[in-house]
Amino acid sequence: MNEVLRPLDTLNGARNKSVLVELKNGRQYVGKLRSFDIHVNTVLEECEEKVDGELKRKIGTTFIRGDTILFISVN
C-alpha cells in the first residue's frame, strides 16, 4: 500500500462508475460519477434522487455542491 494514498484518489478510481451520494439532509443521489473537485463538488450523469431507496426524481446531469455531501459510496 502507498502511504500517501489520498481520499480523492478513491473518487478518481470511480470515474464513469455508478456511485451513491448521500447528503447531510438524508437525500440520496445515484448516478455515474463524471467529475469532482477538491471541494467535493460532484457531477453525476443520469442522476436519480432516491428517498428511502425509492426513486423520487430523475434529474439528469447534475452538479452537486460539495458542502452538502455526507458520504460517497463507490461500490
Rounded CA-CA distance 55/71 in Å is 19
Rounded CA-CA distance 67/75 in Å is 22
Residue 11 CB, nearest distance to a copy of itself (Å)? 6
33 binds a copy of itself (CB under 8 A): no
Any alpha helices (H) in the chain, and if so which ranges? 7-12
Q: Which three cell numbers stand for residue 1?
A: 500500500
In this chain, which of 17, 55, 56, 63 binds a copy of itself, going by CB under 8 A? 63
Q: Which residues bind a copy of itself (CB under 8 A)?
A: 1, 3, 5-12, 15-16, 20, 23-25, 29, 34-37, 40-43, 47, 59-75
